[in-house]
Amino acid sequence: MRHLTLGFHDDFAWFSSGIALALVLGMTMRTVARHGGGRGAIAALLAVLVGGCVVSPQPSPPVHDPVLNGGLLGGASDFTVLQEQILLQGKPGAVQPAEGVVVVTNLDAADPPAIAEVNGDGSFQVTLSGTTEHLLRIQAKHGERRSPPTDAKIVDLPFDPQATRRAHLPCLQVEAWVSLEGIADARDAVVRNDCAEEVSIAAPRLRRGGGPFSVSPSAPFVVPAGGSIAVTVRADGDGDELEDVLFLDITAPEAGRRALTLTLPD
């Protein structure tokens, strides 16, 4: 409503200025004509008045990535929709700005991501296959822009995004989303080990494998303590799916997993 109100006032101001200008010109032209001022005076007056009514161009509003508020997420605590399905809900204000879609990927299953339209109040609702104990990756999407991935289980919602901390090896850092610009593009995802001991990772694997993504190294590797290794993702295959998840399964010093969402433009 704020944008509509501003737009109305701007139009009204311009409309009012136009009326005032027309009235002034009309009166001036009658006065000049009565006193024989001639066309030159009218032209000069027009130039002054029109010059004073020039509207300065307004800058375009800044473009921001969508924001997903994990504190406004919730879901069904049991199978209230269908057996083996779960319901994820975002309350009003969960997605800002309130536009685009929400992409939900079950990291513990191999089904395609579920897509939900964002309502005008920033809320959404999506049903997908899984259980309340499955880990879901949630991203708000508007065009090619996305919010940072939010990982959560239905049983843990809602949660405070500021209070969450990775329980498994917080000293191992890797970005959660790799965006490629198109076919033949490549990106490096850096795995940084700030732990006191080396970290062993199994051969990288794709969640579905239906896209054109390939990964190197393709064999198990070790990240030394205090060191880093680049995992290169390429879009050089024949698959037609534009999104997948790359899993880095950690085998030592503590078993766990990192998930990297891979995307191509729509």
For residue 161, is it within any domain? no
Question: Do both 95 and 35 map to the same domain?
Answer: no
Average pLDDT over residues 109-113: 96
Confidence label for 83 from pLDDT (cuts 50, 70 and 90): low
DSSP characters for 159-226? --TTT---SS-TTEE--SEEE--STT-EEEEEEEE-SSS-EEEPPPEESS--SSEEEE--S-EEE-TT
Question: Do both 119 and 152 map to the same domain?
Answer: yes
Mean pLDDT of the chain: 79
Confidence label for 160 from pLDDT (cuts 50, 70 and 90): low
For residue 196, is it within any domain? yes
Could you read off the pLDDT of 3-35 as tens digits, one per residue? 323 233 333 333 333 333 333 333 333 443 444
**Overall domain count for the chain:** 3
For residue 32, is it within any domain? yes
State the number of CA atoms in the 13 A half-sphere of 48 facing the CB. 9
For residue 58, is it within any domain? no
| CA dist., res. 261 & res. 266, Å (int) | 15
pLDDT: which is higher, 71 or 36: 71
CATH number at residue 73: 2.60.40.10
Q: Look up residue 33 and give its two tokens.
A: 């004509």
Question: Do both 148 and 182 map to the same domain?
Answer: no
Contact 141, 115 (CB under 8 A): no
For residue 59, is it within any domain? no
For residue 152, is it within any domain? yes
SS3 (DSSP) at 231: strand
Q: Which domain holds residue 30?
A: 2-52
Question: Do both 224 and 144 map to the same domain?
Answer: no
Question: Do both 87 and 150 map to the same domain?
Answer: yes
Question: Do both 39 and 116 map to the same domain?
Answer: no
Question: Do both 113 and 188 map to the same domain?
Answer: no
Helix axis angle for 2-35 and 38-52, nearest 10°, is 170
Average pLDDT over residues 129-158: 93
For residue 86, is it within any domain? yes
Residue 2 phi, psi dihedral angles, 5° rounding: -65, -40
pLDDT at site 110: 96
For residue 163, is it within any domain? no
DSSP characters for 92-153? TTSEESS-SEEEEEETTS-SPPEEEEPPTTS-EEEEEES-TTSEEEEEEEETTEEPPPEEEE
Average pLDDT over residues 136-154: 95
Question: Do both 239 and 185 map to the same domain?
Answer: yes
* DSSP β-bridge partners for residue 105: 137
Q: Which helix (H) or strand (E) holds 245?
A: strand 243-252
Average pLDDT over residues 75-90: 69
